[in-house]
Structure formats: C-alpha cells, structure tokens
Chain A
Amino acid sequence: MTALDVYVEGIGLWSPQLGNFAALRERLAGATPDSASPPVATLLPANERRRAPECVRLAMEVAGQALAASGYDPTTLACVFASAYGDQAITDVICATLARAPTELSPTRFHHSVHNAPAGYWTIATGCRAPSSAVSAGACTFGAALLEATALALAERRPVLLACSDTAGHGPLAEMTRCAHAFGCALLLAPAAGANAQARLRLRVADDGTAPTPAPVLLAGEAAGNPSAAALPLLALLATQADSCRIGLSATTDLRVTVEPLA
C-alpha cells in the first residue's frame, strides 16, 4: 500500500480545557492547565467576530493558530475545513423556525448554515483565493479529512491547511449528535519540509479492519463526546514526538499514521 509522507508545519487546538497545542503538551506532561478562554478567531475583523457563529470562530481560531506557527501566506494557501456536524446551533434554530414559521427564517442564519461557512469566512478574512473545501465523514471526519488534505498537498505539491472542529450540540438535535463539548484542531501540512517543519507524518490506508487508537487516558475528558476529537491520538503523538497510531478513515478502514519528529 502506498505510503504518503507529509510534513506538519503548524498545529492548532482548542477545547474548553486546552486553549492551544502548548496546553495539550503541558497536560500530557502532568500539569493541569487553566480552562481555555473562548476561541478568539483573531483573523476575523472585530465586527465579523461579533456576528460570526461559534462554529466559525472555533474553526478560525484553530486554523489561525496553525497558520501563525507555519509562517505561510494565507492568500495562496489551500484549505480543508472538516466537521462531522457543521453548525449544530444554527441547524437547531433553523429547524425550530421552519417548524414554527418558515417564512421567518433569517437570511443570515441560512447562509451561515452551509457546511462551508467556516471555509467561506476564512477565505474572506484572509484574502485566500486558493482552493478551499468543506468535508464531513461522521465519526471518521478527522481521518477522512486528513487523507483529503494530504492528497491535495501531495498531488498538487502545495501546502494545505486542515482544520477539523465540532461544537457542542444544541436543542433536540443534541440527543442525536451526542456532542457534549466543543473541540477543534488544525494541521498545516506541506509536501516537503520547510523552515518550520515539526514532524513528518507517514500515512497508509490500513489493509485490515478498523481499530482506531484510543486517546491517552489523560485526555479522556477531551476525547469523549466530540467526533473531531478523533484527532487526539495523533495530536498526542505530535506532542510527545513518537510512534504510530490508527485513525478511523471509514466504517471499514483506518488510516495508519507514523509520526517522526524533526525538531
């Protein structure tokens, strides 16, 4: 099976307990970081930041962290925004409005409801005219999006920003999505090692059944109840600089990822 080598040049992370990737490192080293402040999404202009839904702010926060670490120019940087459920708060309020008084649906809510709202906001805020995408794959959203972003980086020989995030469920829909809290992460992936390369990832599509690596016990709180947190086993390896893991890729297959530190 073909192996794909891709370089990590920036990492972003946000959960209610961990405000960035450094906080994850501290947690794995045994510290108990303070609770994170809400995602800021500093790349959004202040007026947009107030209007932007939580789901957009979360995705932009983690994407902005990874971008800042990498030093890439966002205007030419391809991006893949992944989310298992998209904007659950908007879905809840839209479905409630449609059930009650459909003609009262707000136009702003509607255009926020598209799955590519974070990609749209990101490209507008950063002036990005490169390819942008928005993807989803249920419990395997992170793995499938990692493969999509890596394939884009390698087939087109260009750096790719991958962000994967889900917010907490809202309203009656929350019983179906079982998303208990927000979690988002981002990886800046490049086809060749640049100045800020932190690690090399070697990806292979597994040729056996599915058995994703569980998150480290120390991260059990973050891992439960959010599909985007399927990234945690890999993020933990990037923090501790070692070894390999399996990330769910589909209902029948995993992605095998080996992390090789460079720094």
Chain B
Amino acid sequence: MTPVAVSAITVSTALGGGLAAQREALRQGRSGLRRNDFGSAPRLGWIGRVEGVETTTLPPALADQECRNNRLAWLGLQQDGFLDRVYAARERHGARRLALLLGTSTASIGATEEAYRRLDSDGRFPADLRRPAVHTPHSLAAFVAAVLALEGPSLTVSTACSSSAKVFASAARLLALDLADAAVVGGVDSLCDNVLFGFNALELISPAACRPFDADRDGISIGEAAGFALLERIDAAPRAPRLLGYGEASDAWHMSAPHPDGHGAERALDAAMARAGLDATQVDYVNLHGTASRANDEMEAALLARRFPATTRASSTKGFTGHTLGAAGIVEAAIALQAIEQGFVPGNIGTSTPDPACGAQFAWQGEERLVDVALSHSFGFGGNNACLLFGRAP
C-alpha cells in the first residue's frame, strides 16, 4: 500500500496526559495502575484511571454531550498541541475533506448505567440524563466531530479491543480512494461498571496489577484512555513517521476467547507485512496485545516465537496502562511510534516469572535501541484481529 503519514498523535492514559507523560513513565518503568477506586462496590482488581477526568468540564455549547467518556476525549484532545494540528489541516484541506474515524468499545455507556441507577418514580431516565446524544455508541465520534468542526465522513468502529487499530485501516482506504485528504483517527474508552463487572463475570479480572506473559498471570487490569492521530498523505508531511501496512482478520472461533493456534492473529500479521512489503526480520519492535489473560498471552507468545527472530524486541505495555479496551489500538500505536522516535523499547513490566513459552524476543526491561519499524497487535472479542506496522520516514 501507499504509506500514510502520521503527522500528529497524542494519547492520555493512567500514565498521564500527553506523550511526554507516557515517555517518562515508560522510561522509568513506572506503572499507572492502582487499586480499583472507581464505580460500584465491590471494587474489584486494579485499574488504570486517568487523573483529572472528574474535574474536566466541557464547553457550555457541548453540555448535552456531557459524560465521562467525552470529558476524557476533551482532556485528550487538549494535549500535545493536537487541536492546532487539526485546525491547520482543516485550513489546508477544508473541513469537508477531513474524515473522522474513532474506535470505542463502550462509548458513553457509563452515562446509561447512571441513568438506570437513578430512574425516576415513573421508571424513566432522570431529567438531567434524558440526552439521546450520550446513549448511543456514536456519542464519541459525534462529540469529537463537533469539537473539531469536521464536515467529512465520520464513523465509529466498535470491534471491542481492536476498535482503534482498525480505524487506521479504514482511514488508509479513504485516503487511497481520494475520499478525504486527511483523517483524524483514534479512540476513547472510559471506566464503567459494564466492563469492570463484565470482565469479572468472565473471570478475567486479576485481583492484583496485571502481569502480562507471567507464568502465574491471572487476568487483566482494565484501564481508560483517549488518543488521537492525524493521518495525511506523505506529501503533506514528508518527515512524519508512517503507517506502512495494516492487516485485519477474523478467528471464526469463539466470542470471548482467541483461537488457541492464533490463526486469525497470524492472518492479520501476514496481511500487514504484505501491505508494507516487509518480512519479520525487518521488524525492530512489537508492541504486543499482551492482556495478561491466560488465553491471549499463550496464543501470542507462541505466535511471536514462531514468526520473529530474537533481534526483534517485543513487550506488552498493559502493565503500565492497563487494558484500555477500545482505546488500546491508538494507545499502543502511539507507544510504537514513540519507540521509533525515541529509540527506546519499553519493558514488559509487572512480570516476575516469564512464561516458559516466551522466546528471546521479550524485552522484560526497557532497552535503548534504534527502532525503524514497529508493529502493534490488537486482538478483540468476537475473534477480531488487527495489526499495524509503522516506520520512520526515510
């Protein structure tokens, strides 16, 4: 495929707001996870909670879109000068030529949960939550379209934990077909009872901070995050790092467990490599999906071991941020791009006894290292897999 320039990117996670906060924590090996202090009792496990979401306020004109997820989106949009980059692109190309493609798994379901906790005496939503704009999966993209005043195509992708990786693929297709000159992609997922108790019901929540690829790993820690990137054709940003390839594939196996042989994940990987015209020996760093669930990490460790040489370095960063679900794709795309820009491979923190299935590729601690090509894995419920390959501008 024709590579696409990633001309701006920002993410906010439990590590802090913006790229500098991510860089600092990743270098220090400092986790953003904490004991669960969010939502309804009992508060199970550990979480990756973003500081400052409660005190963030939306402009009065957007009050009908008020909810935790949109506050987190607003907080995220303010970082790293991202708004100015989008405004400049809008100026350059025209608002109708900017597409908006955002991933989320639960959008603002937290607001719907709250309405059900506070039903009025007639069994209706309380008056302050009778706002259809927040009781829909498209609430995030509609909010961000309003904030950025974009007038091009706009879409929510909601494929669980691959959502905000797949938006890069959709955007690349719109640019290739000249349906847009630039695209804002990304995703936001925020803490809510739905995911905390849902993953608990599946017995997938670790009682402690998650330990990706540990022999004794016992589940995930859920996090929240907001992230956005601006994608343009290379001539608009020739020096920016690039999306070199994407791959998408389905497991055809199970709604809530990956195929044990990882064939869907591997098909997505093969498709990304083929589009980029690269082979595994040319991949310097893999940011793994690495949720710390028994099943994912077993499948993914085997995939890594059979496909990559030891010179490829790999880590899951879920021990830093928690599993940010529909936002994991954009968060880990940003970490992969930072690895290229900073020459630093983050460590796979949280793990004390590596699973024997893990090969020599694992960077258990952070490593200084030149990274020209970085890969990000995102695998979701329903057997939905996406891989993204990023590279330095030549």
**Is there an interface contact between A129 and B137, defined as CB atoms closer than 8 Å?**
no
Residue of A nearest to B166 (CB): A133
With A129-B249, A172-B124, A205-B153 known as contacts, the answer to whether A116 contacts B96 (CB < 8 A) is: no
> Given the complex of chains A and B, what is the CA–CA distance between A96 and B58 in angstroms?
28
**Is there an interface contact between A99 and B382, defined as CB atoms closer than 8 Å?**
no
**Is there an interface contact between A124 and B194, defined as CB atoms closer than 8 Å?**
no
> Given the complex of chains A and B, what is the CA–CA distance between A251 and B143 in angstroms?
11
Q: Which of A103, A172, A205 has the most CB of B within 10 A?
A: A172
Chain B: minimal CB distance from A17 (Å) = 26
Instruction: Report how many residues on chain B are interfacial, defined by Cβ distance under 8 Å.
Output: 72
Kindly supply a per-residue 1/0 record for chain A positions 120-132, scoring 1 wherever the CB is within 8 Å of any chain B CB and 0 otherwise. 1101101111111
A217 at the interface (CB under 8 A from B): no
Chain A: minimal CB distance from B325 (Å) = 10
**Is there an interface contact between B124 and A175, defined as CB atoms closer than 8 Å?**
yes
Listed stretches A35-43, A60-68, A83-91; interface member: A83-91
From A84, A98, A250, give the contact of B40 (CB < 8 A): A98
Q: Tally inter-chain residue pairs, CB-CB below 8 A.
A: 233
**Is there an interface contact between A124 and B253, defined as CB atoms closer than 8 Å?**
yes
When distances are taken between beta carbons in the complex, the residues of chain B under 8 Å from A141 are 138
**Is there an interface contact between B256 and A156, defined as CB atoms closer than 8 Å?**
no
> Given the complex of chains A and B, what is the CA–CA distance between A85 and B193 in angstroms?
19
From A99, A134, A144, give the contact of B116 (CB < 8 A): A99
Chain B: minimal CB distance from A67 (Å) = 15
**Is there an interface contact between A154 and B138, defined as CB atoms closer than 8 Å?**
no
From A107, A121, A253, give the contact of B202 (CB < 8 A): A107
Q: Residues of A at under 8 Å CB distance from B?
A: 2, 4, 75, 83-86, 91, 94-96, 98-99, 102-103, 105-107, 110-117, 119-121, 123-124, 126-138, 140-141, 144-145, 147-148, 151-152, 154-156, 172-173, 175-178, 205, 207, 249-253
Q: Residues of B at under 8 Å CB distance from A?
A: 40, 42, 95-96, 105, 109, 112-113, 115-117, 119, 123-125, 130-132, 135-138, 141-142, 145-146, 151-160, 166, 169-170, 172-174, 176-179, 193-194, 197-203, 248-256, 263-264, 267, 380-384
